[in-house]
Structure 1
């Protein structure tokens, strides 16, 4: 989910295939190897092949443009593959993190109550500009959220969305390739990857950080990320991303959990390519809609729903 007005939540700019000729990886203390592709291609001598006995698949490749992450480059396969080289029939689906995989606002509200006595519910967030919800300045809002990032409420307290793990497991075992496309910024990249390891281990092939609303560094639109990596569907709770991606010809499942996300509503009119946006209210509906969309996306001559 994007955080309009929240200038502390996106990563260094994602490096796309036009910016990097190969994938590379950074080994971290995690349950399996994650790859991190930087803006510059490493020299062949800087790529080290990981022994087969140390590999765990699938691995997460976390992409950012941070020049500080150019060391400890590892290729788990010893070969490079373009960012969107999807040669088989598997349909690449991009999945957002906050409010789609995990309950960010729920955990944030617990932190705000414990630290500052602020009483808010998810239903109070009619817009994702926390300063407007909390009645404070943008600077104060940023400070509170940074404190949240350092707290146990964030590092270990964000619960998962019910049904997500089960549905994603079935999809990953079928003809789908799952990647994460999030607007989160680099300051919380490691925590994000650790959280995905704990709750969705082995399900996502790649993690892309968009660097939206960051204090420094470039950002990339989710529509650009999805197009560059070959993602045909985005699952996201943010209507602005839904509109942006639909205008770019990308199918969107707009996630409005149980219809209870006040911010996750489409405008009544003026939606370009509105037929590409489908509202889903739980992960069961996500699975159903993907089953309807998949045949036509894999075989463009078919209409949605045909097989």
Structure 2
């Protein structure tokens, strides 16, 4: 069994808000979590979903970095590996865990007779693919969020559940770091609970391309929470995080994600920090190798 659940005054900002009053026993996980739950931080939300495997504490962060007092994060909470020797790994949602573009294309075809395939997305910026303004692109995406296509659920990426289950039972602590907007925070938590229940300790939202609210860089989130590795399909995020010293597994499923290609010119990225992976089997192998190297480095310092 995992640790008992906890909640705090910020809990009504997340899903499962009806259960907030019933789950207020604080988990003494680390100094950072204790301070979060004892402070007035309305942009944080804490919740504990049901789990088929174990019952981790899930913290949903949709606030800006200014809310986080980095001095509250003790070394026992954000080292190379966690206190029980587990490496903290951040995992993206769309195109890594779920097939977002595939489902979005179905919506665009049914609603607007827009005919696109995943292979058409040479960049993960929909306005450029659809040949419209950013405002119009945002409008279509948010209509998609309200559609039955989105509510019926995004299909999972094959192999992700099995690999993440093995990783969670090994020397890894898994968290979600997504660019998804605040407006679909609750829907995202429900989707994760339905398809990846019990695997992730925390969920963080960057709020990119949102109609309102501030966005948060993935590199800032990863550094703040002590994630040493990010699994992501977007090369822009990969380069951003690598520049911050964060290891990245750039997920290019079967080599079929046009937008996931790194810049070809020399010196564009550090190959020691960014590795391209094409399936979840490769993710497992690369993480095992990386964890070994990080432990060796830590032992020598």
Superposition TM-score tier, normalisation by shorter sequence: 0.7 to 0.9
2:281 is equivalent to residue 284 of structure 1: yes
Structure 2 equivalent of residue 14 of structure 1: none
Cα distance in 2 for residues equivalent to 1:150 and 1:216: 16
Higher relative contact order (CA 8 A, sep 6+): 1
Structure 1 unaligned spans of 5+: 1-21, 47-53, 67-79
Structure number with the higher helix fraction is: 2
Structure 1: how far apart are the matches of 2:278 and 2:130? 27
2:61 — aligned with what?
A: 63
The answer to whether the aligner puts 1:29 opposite 2:23 as a matched pair is no
Verify the 8 A CA contact 2:233 2:250 in the aligned structure 1: yes
Q: Shift of residue 107 of structure 1?
A: 0.3
Name which of 219, 239, 244 aligns with 2:240.
Answer: 244
Structure 1 position 26, deviation (Å):
1.8
How large is the RMSD of aligned CA atoms in angstroms?
3.2
Match of 2:297 in 1: 300
Alpha carbons of 1:299 and 1:197: their partners in 2 closer, same or farther (altered >3 Å)? Answer: same
Q: Is the 1:249–1:273 Cα contact (8 Å) retained in structure 2?
A: no
TM-score when normalising by structure 1: 0.76
Aligned partners of 1:126 and 1:263 also within 8 Å: yes
Matched residues in 2 for 1:184 and 1:45: separation? 24
User: Does the alignment pair 1:169 with 2:165?
Assistant: yes
Displacement of 1:273? 2.4
Instruction: Decide whether the 8 Å contact of 2:124 with 2:234 is kept in 1.
Output: no
Task: Give the number of aligned pairs.
Answer: 260
Gaps (5+ residues) in structure 2? 1-5, 25-31, 42-49, 65-71
Q: Once the 2 structures are TM-superposed, how far is the Cα of residue 44 of structure 1 from its aligned partner? A: 7.5
Show CA shifts across 1:216-266 (max 9, x none).
333221111111111111000000111111111111000000000000000
State TM-score, norm by structure 2: 0.77
